Amino acid sequence: MQFPISIELHRSFHLFLLLVLLHAIAAGCTIALPWLWSLRCVLLTLVALSLGFALRPSRIHGLQISGRCRLDCLLVDGSRVGAAVLQDSTVFNRLIVLRLRIGEEKRVSKLALLPDHMSADQFRMLRLWLRWQTESKEHAESAF
């Protein structure tokens, strides 16, 4: 693996369709409820707000793997900040759920990445790097 690896994140079409479909199902179920229309309108407003919140752009515009234990995030404002990958991040064949602590922030940022967020090679390299990180942490913990 040649470092640094720069990964530019794009909007995922599959994730967009999935979110819209699930919110449409929720809206359909809300309309079918035998409640007053005023309550159903309140619930439909909440579903629309949830969809808007889910579809807002991420503040993380890209990732850069700079070495064995170093991951940097490229933010929307153009700044590059170091990030720590938390241990409860998950790697599957077609999905990566990253939990990151960006810089010195106390809050945790979450990224759900599908293969269409980036090129296939970049997705494979990110999966490999994340699995490599967890294996090296497990070996270090078992040594103690």
Smallest CA-to-CA distance from 52 within 76, 25, 19, 11 is with: 19
Shared domain for 82 and 23, answered yes or no, is no
Question: For the chain, what is the domain count?
Answer: 2
pLDDT band at 138 (very low <50, low <70, confident <90, very high): low
Shared domain for 107 and 95, answered yes or no, is yes
Shared domain for 49 and 62, answered yes or no, is no
Q: Is 92 left (phi over 0), alpha (psi -120 to 50) or beta?
A: beta
Shared domain for 87 and 134, answered yes or no, is yes
For 71-97, give the secondary structure using H, E and C.
EEEEECCCCEEEEEECCCCEECCCCEE
Shared domain for 67 and 118, answered yes or no, is yes
CA-to-CA distance for 117 and 102, rounded, in angstroms? 20
Shared domain for 83 and 101, answered yes or no, is yes
Shared domain for 33 and 69, answered yes or no, is no
Shared domain for 80 and 48, answered yes or no, is no
Express each pLDDT in 100-132 by its tens digit.
Answer: 999 889 999 999 999 999 999 999 999 999 988
State residue 101's pLDDT score: 94
Opening angle at CA 47, ends 29 and 90, nearest 5 = 100
Could you list the residue range(s) of the whole structural domain that residue 86 is in?
Answer: 5-11+58-143
Shared domain for 132 and 99, answered yes or no, is yes
Cβ atoms 130, 83 nearer than 8 A: no
Express each pLDDT in 82-94 by its tens digit.
Answer: 999 998 999 999 9
Shared domain for 48 and 108, answered yes or no, is no
Backbone angles phi, psi at 33, to 5 degrees: -65, 140
